């Protein structure tokens, strides 16, 4: 039951910007205590994503303290900065390990039309199993959201002693299909753009799979939209049209898609 609902519970907490009990250490371990090795790649990713609501809550508090010129802002900034570094390190390690396991599971295909909409990306990323596509789009949406927090607080992580990304280069596992496992810490916009493009290149497979995998594409696309410049870019317009396709798709009927475009559930200021 927990595994089936964990992702939705975390997404709801992200929208509220409120930390969730699921971030407590015991909720990351006890449910799998009988067989820790059975924890899937998705659940391992959610172990890091579950910290996003709390970090967004801290972000909102810190912005208020800075606006009020409160002396509390300095110490809290240091704590938030260190925690963000830890979480970004976890996220980077997840992606690196994921590519080790799934190095041969991704392949490139010629993009096809999505309903009556042209695919502006010449090639798409497909996987041997739809779950892998869901995992990588969720990872990219988490990466974008962490970058939004760092950017909105104007944090400089490049010179941190514990910065795990300073000398990080492309993963040797890159197979010219997946984005290199790299975090360019000095260019957050480039990082967010690259992550958003990878989400877009997985759209073709999600539509081919339909059903639940299409539902899990809604939140990543909503996160990708502002990262691609919203209505100011061709890519942003395309994402908006794709979300509209999901919202009106007869087979799925996911009206949540239109609701998420008419509001700003993640309160992203990029």
Q: What is the pLDDT of residues 78-93, one digit of tens each?
A: 999 999 999 999 999 9
Answer with the residue of higher pLDDT: 101 or 246: 101
Query: Does the global pTM surpass 0.85?
Result: yes
* Nearest residue to 238 via CA among 115, 120, 122: 120
* Residue 25: inside a domain: yes
Residue 269 placed within a domain:
no
- In a domain? residue 214: yes
Write the DSSP symbol of residue 179. Answer: P
> Is 267 within the bounds of a domain?
no
Give SS3 for 196: helix
pLDDT at position 4 = 79
Backbone angles phi, psi at 125, to 5 degrees: -100, 125
- Show the tokens assigned to 267: 């309160």
Distance CA 55, CA 50 (A): 10
The dihedrals phi and psi of 97, each to the nearest 5 degrees, come to -65, -40
Average confidence (pLDDT) over 220-245:
91
In a domain, 145, yes or no: yes
Q: Is the pLDDT of residue 170 over 50?
A: no
How many angstroms separate the CA atoms of 178 and 201, rounded?
Answer: 10
Is 158 part of a structural domain of the chain? yes
For 237-250, how does the pLDDT look when each residue is reduced to its tens digit (9 = 90+)?
Answer: 999 899 888 876 64
Task: Domain count for the chain, please give it.
Answer: 1
**Residue 120, domain member (yes or no):** yes
Q: Answer for the pair 191, 147: CB distance below 8 angstroms, yes or no.
A: yes
Mean pLDDT in residue range 7-23: 91
- Judge whether 270 lies within some domain: no
Domain range for 131 is 2-262
On the 0-12 / 13-18 / 19+ scale of CB atoms within 10 A, 232 is exposed
């Amino acid at each position: 039951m927990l595994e089936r609902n964990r992702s939705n519970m975390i997404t709801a907490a992200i929208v509220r910007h409120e930390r969730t009990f699921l971030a407590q250490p015991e909720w990351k371990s006890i449910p799998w205590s009988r067989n820790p090795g059975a924890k899937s790649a998705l659940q391992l990713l959610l172990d890091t994503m579950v910290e996003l609501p709390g970090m967004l809550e801290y972000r909102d508090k810190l912005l208020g303290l800075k606006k009020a010129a409160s002396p509390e802002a300095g110490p809290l900034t240091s704590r938030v900065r260190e925690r963000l570094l830890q979480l970004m390190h976890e996220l980077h390690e997840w992606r690196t390990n994921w590519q080790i396991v799934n190095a041969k599971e991704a392949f490139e295909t010629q993009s096809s039309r999505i309903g009556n909409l042209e695919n502006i990306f010449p090639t798409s990323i497909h996987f041997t199993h739809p779950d892998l596509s869901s995992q990588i789009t969720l990872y990219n949406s988490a990466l974008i959201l962490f970058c939004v927090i760092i950017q909105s607080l104007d944090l400089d992580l490049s010179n941190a002693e514990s910065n795990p990304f300073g000398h990080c280069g492309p993963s040797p596992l890159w197979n010219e299909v997946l984005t290199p496992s790299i975090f360019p810490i000095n260019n957050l916009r480039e990082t967010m753009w690259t992550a958003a493009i990878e989400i877009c290149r997985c759209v073709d497979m999600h539509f081919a799979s339909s059903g639940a995998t299409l539902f899990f594409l809604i939140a990543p696309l909503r996160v990708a939209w502002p990262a691609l410049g919203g209505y100011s870019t061709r890519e942003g317009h395309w994402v908006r049209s794709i979300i509209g396709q999901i919202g009106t798709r007869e087979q799925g009927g996911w009206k949540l898609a239109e609701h998420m475009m008419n509001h700003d559930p993640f309160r992203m200021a990029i």
